Amino acid sequence: MLLRMALRQTTSRLTAVTAAVALAVAPMSPALAEPEKGPPIIRDTEAEQLLREYTRPILRAAGLEKQNIQVVILNEKVFNAFVADGRRIFVNYGALMQSDTPNQIIGVLAHETGHLAGGHLSKLREQLAQAQTQMIIAMLLGAGAMVAGARSGSSNGLANAGAAAIAGPQEMIRRTLISYVRQQEENADRAGVKFLTATGQSAKGMYETFKRFTNDSLFAARDADPYLQSHPMPAERVAALEELARSSPYWDKKDDPALQLRHDMVRAKVSAFMERPDTVYRRYPPSNDSLPARYARAIATYLHGDLRSALAQIDGLIQVQPGNPYFYELRGQALLEGGKPAEAIAPLRKALQLSNNAPLIEMLLGQALVATDNKAYTEEAIAILRSAVARESEAPIGYTQLAMAYGRKGDFAQADLASAQAAFLRGDNKTARELASRAKTRFAIGTPGWVKADDIVSAKPLPGQKSN
Ligand SMILES: [Zn+2]
């Protein structure tokens, strides 16, 4: 299952910091000057599991394993990766697609971990606050000079000097920030190489990726590339990185073929779900009978072709890897979305068991149980969905399905509460409050359901969200 969702939390902060970095590096960028909407995120158990495995040893080497840092995949096809709030690493799906090897994206993750470990974000905020103060002082001085020029009654000479005093410090401050950001980038490179070496991995992929950006920047429009905006890539930096990376005993170490296959499977899946079918078939033509190509075509067939053919292709995949939970998940999803929820239940149970009860797969099974319209499944659906939302609290679909299951049971208090929770997670605070208020009238005062509903009614909107 690959879900596209709104990013509920810290969106406004994220925008503020990326915009701040862009200000420092590329002040003329119109794209980033506009207020951004919350970037939608992509949720998928298989991709998230792989990224967790890529990141875990690096976080451990950086001493950050206890911080519960998540990797979040953003629904953007350009290459980008960044940290924005000290507890999440954001990776565009485009960065995954453009990383030919696990080692390449692991290198980028190691570099971003270097930013986290160095506390670069809070330091950058301090620098920006200082810069803003300097800017205000400079502007006040400039304005003072202009007033003085006007008052002296002389020609425009002094007034122009005032205007120059306003423009000049801005440019100076911008340069200061650029050199500050470059310093942070070099520090993150060094830290990243250190983490990779400590975990017995090569920094070659990190070097290859960053080298590609210096090459690309020769002909690519600089302003169009978000990664270059936040990651100035002067040749000296890449040269320093190469020297450092080559000094590691693991420089020539290759990715494990099994990991490379999983990497290619995730890229095939992302391509199949996110790209147009003609693009998918160009990347993975029928002449390519590798497992990733067959996976991509099976997904594209279920999404754009017919269910029967898709199921035959998925069964072929299961024959090759009978222990792969994501093939059963796909089979279940294809059946569910093909209007056969009862048939989706068995493969989804299998997927759940093989994936050690992954909550997003639990939600899909819960959805299939609810969709059968068979009341015999209602209690099981409620139990499964409650287990899922307890461990995966940011996916509204779990609460949406839970609301339906409670509705079927005739428990309208719990149904309203679950609907309110789903609306809250979608960022629709108005609906969330209305539903939670209604739920409160259905629960006895002070019961756990009443308390949860009351929490939603009295929840403050997050910064950047409309308070209606
Ligand atoms: Zn960086």
Confidence at 113, pLDDT banded by 50, 70, 90 = very high
- Cα-to-centroid distance, 207 and ligand 1 (Å): 13
Confidence (pLDDT) at 147: 55
- Cα-to-centroid distance, 271 and ligand 1 (Å): 26
- Residues whose beta carbons lie less than 5 angstroms from ion ligand 1: 185, 188, 231
- Cα-to-centroid distance, 203 and ligand 1 (Å): 15
Mean per-residue pLDDT for 48-67? 95
Confidence (pLDDT) at 7: 63
- Cα-to-centroid distance, 87 and ligand 1 (Å): 16
Residue 98's φ and ψ, nearest 5 degrees, are -90, 0
Q: Is the pLDDT of residue 72 over 90?
A: yes
Mean per-residue pLDDT for 64-91? 90
Q: How far apart are CA 179 and CA 25, in angstroms?
A: 9
Average per-residue pLDDT for the chain: 84
- Cα-to-centroid distance, 183 and ligand 1 (Å): 10
- Cα-to-centroid distance, 185 and ligand 1 (Å): 5
Of residues 39 and 440, more confidence is placed in 440
Confidence at 369, pLDDT banded by 50, 70, 90 = very high
Confidence (pLDDT) at 108: 96
- Cα-to-centroid distance, 170 and ligand 1 (Å): 23
Q: Which two tokens stand for residue 315?
A: 């069964």
- Cα-to-centroid distance, 184 and ligand 1 (Å): 7
- Cα-to-centroid distance, 196 and ligand 1 (Å): 16
Mean per-residue pLDDT for 352-358? 97
Number of DSSP helices (H) and strands (E) in the chain, helices first: 22, 5
Least confident among 37-51, 220-234, 314-328: 220-234
Of residues 157 and 53, more confidence is placed in 53
DSSP 235-264: HHHHHHHHHHHHTSTTTTPPPPHHHHHHHH
Least confident among 198-202, 235-239, 266-270, 454-458: 235-239
Confidence (pLDDT) at 16: 38
The verdict on pTM exceeding 0.85 is no
Q: CA of 451: how far to CAs of 423, 425, 465, 468, in Å?
A: 17, 18, 23, 22
Q: Is the pLDDT of residue 25 over 60?
A: no
- Cα-to-centroid distance, 241 and ligand 1 (Å): 13
Confidence (pLDDT) at 347: 98
Q: Is the pLDDT of residue 80 over 60?
A: yes
- Cα-to-centroid distance, 233 and ligand 1 (Å): 10
Mean per-residue pLDDT for 414-432? 94
Q: How far apart are CA 152 and CA 132, in angstroms?
A: 30
Of residues 319 and 139, more confidence is placed in 319
Confidence at 178, pLDDT banded by 50, 70, 90 = confident
- Cα-to-centroid distance, 112 and ligand 1 (Å): 6
Q: In 426-445, which positions are buried (b, 16+ CB within 10 angstroms) versus exposed (e)?
A: bbbbeebbbbbebbbebbee
- Cα-to-centroid distance, 340 and ligand 1 (Å): 47
Q: Do the bridges between strand 3-5 and strand 41-43 make them parallel or antiparallel, or are there none, so unpaired? A: antiparallel
